[in-house]
Amino acid sequence: MGSEQKIKFFFTAKAAKFLIYSIALTCRKTVRGLEKIEKLRKEGKPIIYIFWHRHIFFNIYRFRNSRARPLISHSTDGEIVARIAQECGMDPIRGSSSKGGAKAFLKMVKSIKEMNSEIMITADGPKGPLRNIKDGTILIGKKTGAAIIPVSWYSSRKKIFEKSWDKFLLPFPFGKIIFKYGDPVFIPHDIIKDKYPDYKNKLKTELDNLEEEIIAEIEP
């Protein structure tokens, strides 16, 4: 990576952090289901948060300066997102199903088992297909025994980028944002590959239902 690109990424990350915080701080924010997370932490259970790619914007703010470590791809877009996450006090793990996946998988397992890190995974990222859970989510849950927690949010004032593959969601200032933690899903350690689709469908349903519940509350 050249010095010019490094400078570009540096200022892009600074500007993105400013934008995220500027919008989030003006909004009325409600968090639901936090007691589930506190219970798991009290019990010492590892946690993996999963969410749809369209929800990245506010999730960066919600998990700022937290113990969570987001999995972010090695692509150019991923580099920008990783730098934004670092600016917001997070420690990304780099890799995806197409590049660096095995190394990232091992790093996630190590982070969970040795440091009790909380991992964040964009379930349909980094490039889709839309709302399609990847096998990696099942594998990491199987290997670590972590509680997989679906998370979602929606805003009363927002822009939905209909032409983007993920239908990216951008909240507008002075809106109401509801963020919600779903119920934990555990992947059996002895699960066989033929059963992966069952748990992928379960996680997809949990994520979709969670978002629908929030939308119904914000837009009755």
Check: CB of residue 194 under 8 Å from CB of residue 46.
no
pLDDT at 98: 55
For 131-184, the pLDDT digits (tens) are 999 999 999 999 999 999 999 999 999 999 999 999 999 999 999 999 999 999
Sketch the domain layout of the chain as residue ranges.
3-218
Both structure tokens of 130: 């839309």
Look up residue 1 and give its amino acid. Answer: M
Cα separation, 115 vs 65, whole angstroms: 16
For 46-59, the pLDDT digits (tens) are 999 999 999 999 99
Q: What is the secondary structure of the chain as a DSSP string?
A: --HHHHHHHHHHHHHHHHHHHHHHHHSEEEEE-HHHHHHHHHTT--EEEEE-GGGHHHHHHHTTTSSEEEEE-SSHHHHHHHHHHHHTT---EE--SSSSHHHHHHHHHHHHHHH-PEEEEETTTTT-STT---HHHHHHHHHH-PEEEEEEEEESSEEE-TTSTT--EEEPTT-EEEEEE---B---TT--GGGHHHHHHHHHHHHHHHHHHHHHHH--
For 54-92, the pLDDT digits (tens) are 999 999 999 999 978 999 988 888 899 999 999 999 999
Q: Grade residue 125 by pLDDT with cuts at 50, 70 and 90.
A: confident
Q: Is a pLDDT exceeding 80 seen at residue 220?
A: no
Omega within 30 of 0 (cis) for the link into 129: yes
* pTM listed for this prediction: 0.94
Measured CA to CA in angstroms, residue 121 lies from 30, 94, 126, 215 at distances of: 22, 11, 10, 22
Cα separation, 39 vs 143, whole angstroms: 22
3-218 domain in CATH 2.10.109.10? no
Both structure tokens of 183: 């119920």
pLDDT at 100: 60
Share of the chain above pLDDT 90, in %: 81
